[in-house]
Amino acid sequence: MTYRKLIKGFDAFKRDFFGKEVNADYQKLVEEGQRPETLVIACSDSRIDPALLTYSDLGQFFAIRNVAALVPPYGEKDNLHGVSAAIEYAVRALGVKHIVVLGHAGCGGINALATGNYQVEPNTEFEFIEKWLDIARHAKERIDAEMPDADQAYKISTLEQAAVIVSLHNLLSFPWIKSRCDDNVLKIHGWCFDMQQGELYEYQPDRGIFDTVDVTGQDKALLTAQNGLDFFIKNKACCASDAA
Ligand SMILES: [Zn+2]
């Protein structure tokens, strides 16, 4: 029935949305092309919808979704790089002004990385997921080393946030992202959404922590080399009771 619901949903879209005067913005986007100012990199998790979370309209942001919202480091050009290709298009062709990495609490990918439990049948191995999660494995190892006595839930929640930091830094390994950040024409931001609490946490590069978004505050999320993973883990290790 779920698949049929998709088909019926399209029918409703065609009947109630497409071509309607009230949705002229949609027609304008179709005719004139997209000019999104933001790239959002989110998890593929079906419960995380960046458009819903931000109450965004069509055309407002370019989106990449993958397991655990990870960004790989700038790499060899002779491999297949779906994520990097989409990042390149957003930055170099569309000229986005912001990139948001949107991690989340309760992420199955991060949980698998943290625990080694991939929830598959015995003797069954995934072919691609473990290798993909290796992007953030050094963060897991640092957390295990820096906070050996913390409980597992706290380590997982720390890793959910640390993985966002890893992705922010990997974004800066792309030379055309680094140069745009240096020129202040592109800003990158780290978010972590807690779907149980309905809270959105934003990485605060000056303090090395994630804090609830300040809806009235100034944009201050320009990342520098001084406030990366080390800074974040040091701050988390210092205040092991404030799990977000
Ligand atoms: Zn996830």
Residues 8 and 84 in one domain: no
Residue type, 242: D
Please tell me the distance between residue 46's alpha carbon and the centre of ligand 1 in angstroms. 9
Which of 183, 182, 204, 200 has its CA nearest to residue 192?
A: 200
Is 139 in the same domain as 169? yes
Rounded to the nearest angstrom, the distance between the alpha carbon of 66 and the centre of ligand 1 is 8
pLDDT value, residue 214? 79
In angstroms, what is the span from residue 21 Cα to ligand 1's centroid? 37
CA-atom Rg of the chain in angstroms: 19
Q: For the residues 196-213, what does the mean pLDDT come to?
A: 91
Q: Is residue 179 part of a domain?
A: yes
Residues 92 and 136 in one domain: yes
Give dist(CA 103, CA 227) in Å, integer: 18
Partnered with residue 63 across adjacent β-strands are: 40
Tokens representing 82?
A: 């779906």
Cα 45 to middle of ligand 1, angstroms: 5
Please indicate, yes or no, whether residues 25 and 86 belong to a single structural domain of this protein: no
pTM here is 0.92
* Segment 93-138, tens digit of pLDDT: 999 999 999 999 999 999 999 998 877 777 777 889 999 999 999 9
Domain span holding position 10: 1-33
On whether both 10 and 72 belong to a single domain, the answer is no
CA 15 to centroid of ligand 1, rounded, Å = 33
Q: pLDDT tens across 47-84, in order?
A: 999 999 999 999 999 999 999 999 999 987 778 899 99
Which pLDDT score, from 0 to 100, does residue 94 have?
98
> Do 207 and 148 fall into the same domain?
yes
Indicate if 48 and 29 belong to the same structural domain. no
In a domain, 244, yes or no: no
Q: Quick check: 223 pLDDT over 70?
A: no
